[in-house]
Chain A
Amino acid sequence: MSKTISLDDLRDLLVQCAGEVTGVDLAGDIIDTDFEEIGYDSLALMETGARLEAVYGVVIPDDDIAELKTPRDLLDRVNQTLVEAS
């Protein structure tokens, strides 16, 4: 089984973990936008990382997650891990 997560899945996780910033359209084309720009700081990403582990079993160390600047970076990392694990 090769399961991967989509941008929509990531959006849901981000909102669950850290809420939404007023004035940011998360439904828009954000895949290459810096997390900082859409309102998610390093703590928001750490919280999201913990949820990714709980829900999908993907472990991304806190130090690594801070290096992932955009939703695409994070999705690539998560999906690569999922594919390797399957």
Chain B
Amino acid sequence: MSVRTLVTGLGVVAPNGLGVERYWEAVLEGRSGIAPLTRFDVSAYPATLAGQIQDLLIEDHLPSRLLPQTDVSTRFALIAAEWALGDAKVDPSTMTDYGMGVVTANACGGFEFTHREFRKLWTQGSKSVSVYESFAWFYAVNTGQISIRHGMRGPSSALVAEQAGGLDAIGHARRTIRRGTPLMVTGGVDSAFDPWGWASQIAGGGVSRSTDPQGAYLPFDRAASGYVPGEGGALLVLEDAELAMARGLPEVYGEICGYASTFDPPPDSGRPPGLRRAAELALSDAGLAPDDVDVVFADAAGRPDLDRAEAEAIRGLFGAHGVPVTAPKTLTGRLYSGGGPLDVVTALRTLTEGVIPPTYGPSDVPREYGLDLVVDEPREGRPGTALILARGRWGFNAAVVVRRFTG
């Protein structure tokens, strides 16, 4: 009998809501975090819209000792992790340090911090560069800082797979629990809204150049023109079900019951992309059939060829109009490593609240996609199982299955 993995704590730092309650309200009300980027002057750049986190006073949430050594993305990650642990009513200082681990995903690293230090390097010389640059840039830094801050010394790691990485982190955290670590903090957070980070995101080629906040990110729509980059993400507390029960846990959001990842074949191979296979493998891992899935949270790339490929994968697995599909991420933009974990949070709330949040924006979805895309209004229901999909640039695919916890 394999160990069951429960989600017992959620921490959200999203462009449209700080904290899981505010975020969930925003998702149901259709409150968007997408607006012109204000962190620096973007007027000369071809793309100007972003899902930016506002009104978060870092100094209110983190000790000053952590400020000189952290990029903005790591600050968000530390805040989300603390919120998730608080939500799970876990006090790590009272628990066995080697029984708690951290797995985070990261796609951008500490861009803003590094950009600032590089500028100092070229203008003031190498001795002016912060010693903290040595790790503040690094993909594993969020895992490390969370681990140090909370004394979580169990198996820990970092995964990099662009937008798919956040689901991979959750999958790996579940694997770590099954191997005997009782509690894991997992998820992902990214941010790259400095001039260098912004230029590199635009250079990726997928960013929408629209200046209309409502029309810039329209996945599955005929008018899809790319995605809007966002910042932030989510961290979750996962626990071994039996041990969580033993500590008398307050609330369970659901169970992570399936996970798989695949890699796309080379573009000219003639073989199909790996997203559908990831979904099938995740369902098989969960011991479920497509019929058992009540809602799909789509990757929603926002580029017609990728939207079409995802629609084909979903239609192939569930049949035309076979399952409600949604992508509330049109309110936040794509969050890279934060995207999958935030979708998992949204899915878990969908299951506990009995309402599927819609995809705000798309209005003209090609019929041949065969998608039952939930649009405009939340859809009431009693979903028990959700499938979350994510794709990362250069061929990464990941799928997670969550279900309502019934004891």
Q: Please tell me if A17 contacts chain B, counting CB pairs below 8 Å.
A: yes
User: Which residues of chain A are near B134, meaning CB under 8 Å?
Assistant: 43
The answer to whether A19 touches B65 (Cβ under 8 A) is yes
Interface residues in A10-37 (C-beta closer than 8 Å to B): 15-22
A1 to B25, CA, bound (A): 65
Cβ of A46 under 8 Å from chain B: yes
A65 to B65, CA, bound (A): 20
Q: Which residues of A contact B128 (CB under 8 A)?
A: 50, 54
Q: Shortest CB–CB separation between residue A46 and chain B, in angstroms?
A: 5
Find chain B residues with CB under 8 A from A73 CB: none
State whether the Cβ of A47 lies closer than 8 Å to any Cβ in chain B: yes
Q: Do the beta carbons of A53 and B63 come within 8 Å of each other?
A: no
**Contacts A/B (CB < 8 Å), 14 sampled:** A17-B68, A18-B65, A18-B68, A18-B69, A19-B66, A20-B63, A22-B65, A39-B65, A43-B131, A43-B134, A46-B131, A47-B130, A50-B127, A54-B127
Query: B residues touching A (Cβ–Cβ < 8 Å)?
Result: 63-69, 127-128, 130-132, 134
CB contacts (< 8 Å) of A47 on chain B: these are: 68, 130-132
State the Cβ distance, A72 to closest chain B Cβ, in Å.
22
Q: Which residues of A contact B131 (CB under 8 A)?
A: 43, 46-47, 50
Interface size, A (range): 10 to 19
The answer to whether B132 and A19 have CB atoms under 8 Å apart is: no
Residue of A nearest to B128 (CB): A54
B127 touches A43 (CB 8 A): no
Q: How far is the CA of A22 from the CA of B127 in the complex (A)?
A: 28
Task: Please name all residues of chain A whose beta carbon is closer than 8 Å to the beta carbon of B127 when the two chains form the complex.
Answer: 50, 53-54
Q: Enumerate A25-70 residues with CB–CB distance to B below 8 Å.
A: 39, 43, 46-47, 50, 53-54
Decide: B130 and A19 in contact? CB cutoff 8 A.
no
Enumerate the 10 nearest inter-chain pairs by beta-carbon distance, A residue then B residue, closest first: A19-B64, A19-B65, A22-B63, A47-B131, A46-B131, A21-B65, A20-B64, A43-B131, A19-B67, A19-B68
A15–B65 Cα distance when bound, in Å, is 8
Distance of A15 from chain B, by nearest CB (Å)? 7
Nearest CB on A from B407, distance (A): 39
Closest to B129 in A: A50
A49 and B128 CA atoms in complex are apart in Å by 11
- Chain A neighbourhood of B68, CB < 8 A: 16-19, 47
Chain B residues with Cβ under 8 A from A46's Cβ? 131
A18 to B68, CA, bound (A): 6
B320 to chain A, nearest CB (A): 57
Extra 9 A-B pairs, beta carbons < 8 Å, given A47-B131, A50-B128, A53-B127: A16-B68, A18-B65, A19-B67, A20-B63, A21-B63, A21-B65, A43-B131, A47-B130, A54-B127
Which chain B residues lie closer than 8 Å to A17 at the CB level? 68
A54 CA to B132 CA in the complex, in Å?
Answer: 17
Specify which of B67, B131, B132 lies most central, judged by the most chain A CB atoms within 10 Å of its CB. Answer: B131
Smallest CB gap from B66: residue in A: A19
Let me know if B65 and A20 touch, CB within 8 A.
yes
On chain A, the residues within 8 Å of B63 by CB distance are 19-22
Of the candidates A19, A22, A47, A50, the one having the most CB atoms from chain B within 10 angstroms of its own CB is A19
Instruction: Say how far B130's CB is from chain A's closest CB, in angstroms.
Output: 6
Q: Determine the chain A residues whose CB is within 8 A of the CB of B66 once the complex forms.
A: 19
Residues of chain B lying within 8 A (CB to CB) of residue A43: 69, 131-132, 134
The closest CB in chain B to the CB of A20 belongs to B64
Bound: A46/B132 CA distance, A: 10
- A50-B134 Cα distance, complex, nearest whole Å: 14
Assembly CA distance A51 to B143 (angstroms): 29
Check A15–B130 contact: CB distance below 8 A: no
A70–B132 alpha-carbon span in the complex (Å): 21
Distance in Å: Cβ of A54 to nearest Cβ of chain B: 7
Which residue of chain A lies nearest to B70 when distances are taken between CB atoms in the complex? A19
- Closest Cβ of chain A to B68, distance in Å, is 5
CA distance A19 to B66 in the complex (A): 7
Q: Within the assembled complex, what's the spacing in Å between the Cα atoms of A46 and B135?
A: 14
**Chain B: minimal CB distance from A67 (Å):** 17
* Distance in Å: Cβ of B116 to nearest Cβ of chain A: 14
> How far in angstroms is the closest Cβ of chain A from B138?
14
Please determine whether A15 and B64 come into contact, CB atoms closer than 8 angstroms: yes
